[in-house]
A and B are shown apart, each in its own frame.
Chain A
């Protein structure tokens, strides 16, 4: 292992050990900046093409004084197959894939053992700040098949696994049939609810899975599980629920009604496979915060400069955790609003933000929008009239 990489590991470990949300913002910024600069140097050494990308960047990252000046990759650049990797192939232990919808290419994230460990540590550190470090029974609102797969793990599986350090007993309460359709495994769900009725319980599922495959069917049958101490975490896109006109408030109320808990025990978090080890749960004010080992920049689409508090823009996620792939600085296709750059009443320091929406697909761009070529199919495929 190179001296540079050893140094990077030490700096990351120090950030992981630092107070997760209470570093003074200037200190947080300078420490994260230093690690990211070292990681970029390491990445340029490992990948000639990535180094070329850094060279083309209009600001020399080595001389940058702000994280916002560092070269970022659009998240779509991680859709390459084979995935962009900085670690040698023999060191890679797993590839995570994003939850691309039908017809889209998923992102592919190559993990080595070190990055994988830090990913778990990152999530654990963040979640501990919200629910405490105690291990507890873990209800997975998904099917066991989602967790299967040796080398590759999808976004849902990765999120479920990320919370495993908090688990004692793990129960998947849905079953998938051969077509991938999910339905409630009633025996397991009711047994789990009965066994842990008054205990501190952790539950997690993708937002639309929780709603469509658990809340809606149970509510239709008037079933209430009576688990007042459950902590339900959920993440993933809202688009499918928005299409069904399900608001965030309606979602929380629906979950609370089915589990028999307070709505405040239903916690949405923002995260993506590509931003390994970093998730952004809502604080009790409904805002998202940046942990010590990461950062978020919200950029004005017109200038790509960071926006002022109260303004919306494209989300760039920054993480010091990965060293197996160049996922340090990623411009996402999400839009968020910066609430403030410090001083959230919840007590967490630094920037707080609110997820707004995915970047809407670009409208048809008129007569210059080429979607198909004019080449005709070969004669044997031509339509006879």
Chain B
């Protein structure tokens, strides 16, 4: 891993580079406990202003903690999974083996996604071939550089190859697909569809994290109660992370109507929270198309319905678009939050169509929250979390385990058994 992200230009380079990776994965077993130890050191090494300025690094550090990962490994791979040993299960022995080399196609909009993705496959004992999107090279290099400090014996380093090439280089995409035993694919519709169509070997396993959006919801007691300031800060935090472009970013906030409570007051508090968050985390750059989209969303919202209201500054920094119960608007992103006042959160959830990945909640009554979570699960929502924690990466994600899809579970029924 002398060059942290290797620029490749020919299919043969990929084919040749994969051989030592596969050998590392299949010939030198590494137990999840050992991987966790190194990941934890890696997470601790992600310090300093430059690294901490990378969006999502705080989540990555949280993810790499032993306290986060051990329970996940135990849940997904069984109680003995941490040690990577054979486990007895009613007279049968089970053991986890790596698939071999797992290819990773992270999305171009989440800076930490290449490392999140490869960490899951490493926990299964695999080697990783990662295509780093062009826009994430600098951040990925900075994060991976810290693995060298955390992994002096190159236990994990020898299992990782990060590569860079143009998305349009179909020959290289095909070579990468042909070389791997499993694939973790993240991104929008077009990207996911194109990558799935590549010539993977017939035994390749897939974990696909396609496009989703997320929403937030609050009951009347929460948005009008004494903690509403705190809830507003949590919403602002969820909106700001990843510039609201992640699948776990809230695009719409549902407020359940409460008699006597003033939505305008809440929106005022929310706008204060947005101003504060913007002061703390101003955008360094913006794509002009996003600026156009934000301006158009503001105008279309107000001109589209006399009941609509909007609060926004003269800059494109943030926007709150307030309206009544209606179909969920298409996301604008760029710190643009649609706030819809509804008679019933349950009815709003029942209109979800499967695109919602995460539902961030602020509900004062636990039994009611359980009922809403159940309804959300039925309507395709895969994560239901407290507001302010919408981006905390964990397993399961998108309704699927993170480690188990990239391992083989080998069953041994001893011949001596009855």
Docked Cα-Cα span, A50 to B303, in Å, equals 6
Which residues from A are CB-within-8-Å of B213? Answer: 368, 370
Complex interface residues of chain A between 109 and 123 (CB less than 8 A to chain B): none
Q: Is A247 an interface position by the 8 A CB rule? A: no
Q: Are the C-beta atoms of B355 and A74 separated by less than 8 Å?
A: no
Docked Cα-Cα span, A363 to B380, in Å, equals 27
Q: Are the C-beta atoms of B302 and A56 separated by less than 8 Å?
A: yes
- The segment from B45-53, B242-250, B370-378 that touches chain A is B242-250
Q: Are the C-beta atoms of B296 and A364 separated by less than 8 Å?
A: no
Q: Is A304 an interface position by the 8 A CB rule? A: yes
Q: Are the C-beta atoms of A49 and B303 separated by less than 8 Å?
A: yes
Q: A74-B295, A367-B209, A370-B212 are in contact. Are A360 and B315 (CB under 8 A)?
A: no
Q: Are the C-beta atoms of B289 and A359 separated by less than 8 Å?
A: yes
**Cross-chain contact of B189 among A50, A359, A371 (Cβ < 8 A):** A371
Which residues from A are CB-within-8-Å of B191? Answer: 364, 366
Q: Is A131 an interface position by the 8 A CB rule? A: no
Docked Cα-Cα span, A230 to B157, in Å, equals 70
Q: Are the C-beta atoms of A369 and B188 separated by less than 8 Å?
A: yes
Q: Are the C-beta atoms of A56 and B292 separated by less than 8 Å?
A: no
Q: Mark A305-338, 1 if CB is under 8 A from B, else 0.
A: 1000000011000000000000000010101000
Complex interface residues of chain B between 338 and 364 (CB less than 8 A to chain A): 353-355
Q: Are the C-beta atoms of B188 and A365 separated by less than 8 Å?
A: yes
Which residues from B are CB-within-8-Å of A331? Answer: 292, 295
Which residues from B are CB-within-8-Å of A56? Answer: 298, 302, 309-312
Tell me the smallest distance from the CB of B214 to a CB of chain A, in Å. 8
Q: Mark B295-329, 1 if CB is under 8 A from A, else 0.
A: 11011101100101111111110000000000000
Tell me the smallest distance from the CB of B312 to a CB of chain A, in Å. 7
Q: A56-B310, A365-B333 are in contact. Are A371 and B292 (CB under 8 A)?
A: no
Q: Which residue of A lies closest to B303 (CB)?
A: A49
Q: Are the C-beta atoms of B289 and A370 separated by less than 8 Å?
A: no
Q: A52-B302, A56-B311 are in contact. Are A368 and B331 (CB under 8 A)?
A: yes
**Cross-chain contact of A49 among B286, B306, B333 (Cβ < 8 A):** B306
Docked Cα-Cα span, A375 to B327, in Å, equals 15
Which residues from B are CB-within-8-Å of A73? Answer: 299
Q: Are the C-beta atoms of A367 and B295 separated by less than 8 Å?
A: no
Q: Is B98 an interface position by the 8 A CB rule? A: no
Q: Mark A336-375, 1 if CB is under 8 A from B, else 0.
A: 0000000000000000000000011111111111111111
Docked Cα-Cα span, A374 to B110, in Å, equals 22
Q: Is A151 an interface position by the 8 A CB rule? A: no
Q: Is B141 an interface position by the 8 A CB rule? A: no
Docked Cα-Cα span, A22 to B286, in Å, equals 36
Q: Which residue of A lies closest to B283 (CB)?
A: A302
Tell me the smallest distance from the CB of A115 to a CB of chain B, in Å. 20
Q: Is A48 an interface position by the 8 A CB rule? A: yes
Which residues from B are CB-within-8-Å of A74? Answer: 292, 295-296, 299
Docked Cα-Cα span, A105 to B293, in Å, equals 15
Which residues from A are CB-within-8-Å of B210? Answer: 367
Tell me the smallest distance from the CB of B296 to a CB of chain A, in Å. 4
B-side interface residues, number (CB < 8 Å)? 58
Q: Are the C-beta atoms of A80 and B314 separated by less than 8 Å?
A: no
Dominant SS at the B interface?
A: loop
Tell me the smallest distance from the CB of A337 to a CB of chain B, in Å. 13
Which residues from A are CB-within-8-Å of B245? Answer: 365-366, 368-369
Q: Mark B194-221, 1 if CB is under 8 A from A, else 0.
A: 0000000000000001111110000000
Q: A52-B302, A374-B355 are in contact. Are A364 and B289 (CB under 8 A)?
A: no
Q: Are the C-beta atoms of A369 and B211 separated by less than 8 Å?
A: yes
Q: Is A301 an interface position by the 8 A CB rule? A: yes
Which residues from A are CB-within-8-Å of B283? Answer: 302
Q: Is A216 an interface position by the 8 A CB rule? A: no
Q: Are the C-beta atoms of A304 and B316 separated by less than 8 Å?
A: yes
Q: A74-B292, A76-B292 are in contact. Are A371 and B211 (CB under 8 A)?
A: yes
Q: A367-B188, A367-B212, A368-B247 are in contact. Are A361 and B289 (CB under 8 A)?
A: yes
Q: A74-B295, A301-B291, A304-B315 are in contact. Are A368 and B286 (CB under 8 A)?
A: no
Which residues from B are CB-within-8-Å of A373? Answer: 353-355
Q: Is A53 an interface position by the 8 A CB rule? A: yes
Q: Mark A149-169, 1 if CB is under 8 A from B, else 0.
A: 000000000000000000000
Q: Are the C-beta atoms of A362 and B355 separated by less than 8 Å?
A: no
Q: Are the C-beta atoms of B187 and A367 separated by less than 8 Å?
A: yes
Q: Is B180 an interface position by the 8 A CB rule? A: no
Docked Cα-Cα span, A142 to B283, in Å, equals 46
Q: Which residue of A lies closest to B249 (CB)?
A: A368
Interface centre among B287, B291, B298 (most CB of A within 10 A): B291
Which residues from B are CB-within-8-Å of A377? Answer: none
Which residues from B are CB-within-8-Å of A80? Answer: 303
Tell me the smallest distance from the CB of B103 to a CB of chain A, in Å. 17
Q: Are the C-beta atoms of B296 and A77 separated by less than 8 Å?
A: yes
Which residues from A are CB-within-8-Å of B108? Answer: 363-364, 366
Q: Is A303 an interface position by the 8 A CB rule? A: yes
Q: Is A59 an interface position by the 8 A CB rule? A: yes
Which residues from A are CB-within-8-Å of B331? Answer: 368, 370
Q: Is A294 an interface position by the 8 A CB rule? A: no
Which residues from B are CB-within-8-Å of A365? Answer: 109, 188, 245, 333
Docked Cα-Cα span, A364 to B353, in Å, equals 22
Which B positions have Cβ atoms within 8 angstroms of A?
107-110, 113, 186-191, 209-214, 242, 244-249, 283, 285-293, 295-296, 298-300, 302-303, 306, 308-316, 330-331, 333, 353-355, 380
Known: A52-B306, A52-B308, A367-B247. 19 other contacts (CB 8 A): A49-B303, A72-B295, A74-B295, A301-B290, A301-B291, A302-B315, A305-B314, A314-B292, A335-B288, A361-B289, A364-B188, A364-B190, A365-B188, A366-B187, A367-B113, A367-B246, A369-B189, A370-B330, A373-B353
Which A positions have Cβ atoms within 8 angstroms of B?
48-50, 52-53, 56, 58-59, 69, 72-74, 76-77, 80, 84, 301-305, 313-314, 331, 333, 335, 359-375
Could you pull out 29 A-B pairs where Cβ atoms are within 8 angstroms? A49-B302, A56-B312, A58-B313, A76-B299, A76-B300, A77-B296, A77-B300, A301-B287, A302-B291, A305-B314, A313-B288, A359-B289, A364-B108, A364-B188, A364-B190, A365-B188, A366-B108, A366-B245, A366-B246, A366-B247, A367-B113, A367-B187, A367-B246, A368-B242, A368-B247, A369-B188, A370-B211, A373-B354, A373-B355
Q: Which 7 A-B pairs have the closest CB atoms?
A: A366-B109, A374-B354, A366-B107, A362-B289, A367-B247, A369-B188, A301-B291
